[in-house]
Amino acid sequence: MPDLNQIIQGDSIQILNDGPEGWVDLCFADPPFNIGYLYHGYDDQKDVTEYVDWSEKWMRAVHRALKPSGSFYLAIGDEFAADLSVVARRKIGFHLRNWIIWHYTFGQQTKMKFAKSHTHILYFTKSAEGFTFNADSVRVASARQTTYADSRANPKGKLPDDTWFLRPQEAAPHGYFEPGFDTWNESRVCGTFKEREGWHGCQMPIGVLNRIIKASSNEGNVVLDPFNGSGTTAVSAALLGRHYVGIDQSSEYVGYARKRLEHALSTQTPTDAKRGSRVLTATDAFGRPRVARRGRSTAKSA
């Protein structure tokens, strides 16, 4: 297996297939959506068949790397959510547990159609039984508690719905989930937000990763992100006391993600992350110009 607690430069498919089977507890993957976004070193405008075939290859590599008890969360856009769900379930054999809608605010403005405000997060397990799901670590206050003062309410709260909401003014700068639902209403990480790194246009909010990692792994487990990007998964995993392995094809992104992680670990302790009470301050620390958001083409440095 790759050395743990590393962000590695390379092709995920090759690295995972060259490694052993069954060493990963949780994989979070946020691949390029094939929508023409300009990445450093990656063409995001492939032929449809080529993209779906490539997706099958990397999802098979993830399946192989997962322990039988492992979980796999796939963030994906409207364009390929259905195709990749079919491949993951029918061709590879993943078990779908939730089709989560992460509802965000600050979506891109449109002129001739409704503004997009969601990303799909497909939650799979490798096996139908025997996976980790830490219900108590992600419970939220129920309406019985907050509205009806109902004595029958479970004092521990309820499990979130599968549409996830987070209030942007709280979720984005502080990076934690507000009691909510399973449409995940965490704001996208917009250009003006403190959390934003500035050198990667697809940065996931740390609150989304915190919920996934708390629910589907335990301290000391191994969390894999085969499309590491700005390193959000690695930061969340490290601060929550999990081992992490991040892989990205771009040496540029890997270099910055390593610095982001180093900075996060030097300014925030794992305990702070568990409480979800501190600000991740590694914003624009490396002097890179901001880039456009996912879905908008922009020139990137080579």
Ligand X SMILES: C[S@@+](CC[C@H](N)C(=O)[O-])C[C@H]1O[C@@H](n2cnc3c(N)ncnc32)[C@H](O)[C@@H]1O
Toward ligand X, which CB reaches closer, 183 or 250? 250
Is 263 one of the binding residues for ligand X (CB under 6 A)?
Answer: no
Positions in 186-205 near ligand X (CB under 6 A): 200, 202-204
Which residue in 224, 235, 287, 288 sits closest to 257, CA to CA? 235
- Gap between the terminal Cα atoms of the chain: 30
Is 248 one of the binding residues for ligand X (CB under 6 A)?
Answer: yes
| Piece of the chain touching ligand X by CB under 6 A; list 87-95, 97-105, 110-118, 247-255 | 247-255
Instruction: Give the residue, chosen from 253, 261, 291, 293, that forms a contact with ligand X under the rule CB under 6 A.
Output: 253
Q: How far is the CB of 54 from ligand X (least distance, A)?
A: 8
Long-range contacts of 11-17 (CB under 8 A, 24+ apart): 11/247, 11/249, 12/58, 12/61, 12/226, 12/227, 12/247, 12/249, 13/57, 13/58, 13/61, 15/247, 16/58, 16/61, 16/62, 16/64, 16/65, 16/226, 16/247, 17/61, 17/64
Is 39 one of the binding residues for ligand X (CB under 6 A)?
Answer: yes
Is 55 one of the binding residues for ligand X (CB under 6 A)?
Answer: no
- The label of the residue with tokens 């090759």 reads 14
Q: Which DSSP helix (H) or strand (E) runs through 26?
A: strand 24-29
Binding mask 202-241 for ligand X (x = CB under 6 A): xxx---------------------xx-xx-x---------
Query: For the chain, what is the largest distance between any 2 Cα atoms, rounded to a whole number of angstroms?
Result: 60
Positions in 8-37 near ligand X (CB under 6 A): 11-13, 30-32
Which residue in 230, 106, 237 sits closest to 172, CA to CA? 106
Q: How far is the CB of 277 from ligand X (least distance, A)?
A: 21
Is 182 one of the binding residues for ligand X (CB under 6 A)?
Answer: no
Interface residues with ligand X (CB under 6 A) are 11-13, 30-32, 39, 42, 200, 202-204, 226-227, 229-230, 232, 247-250, 253
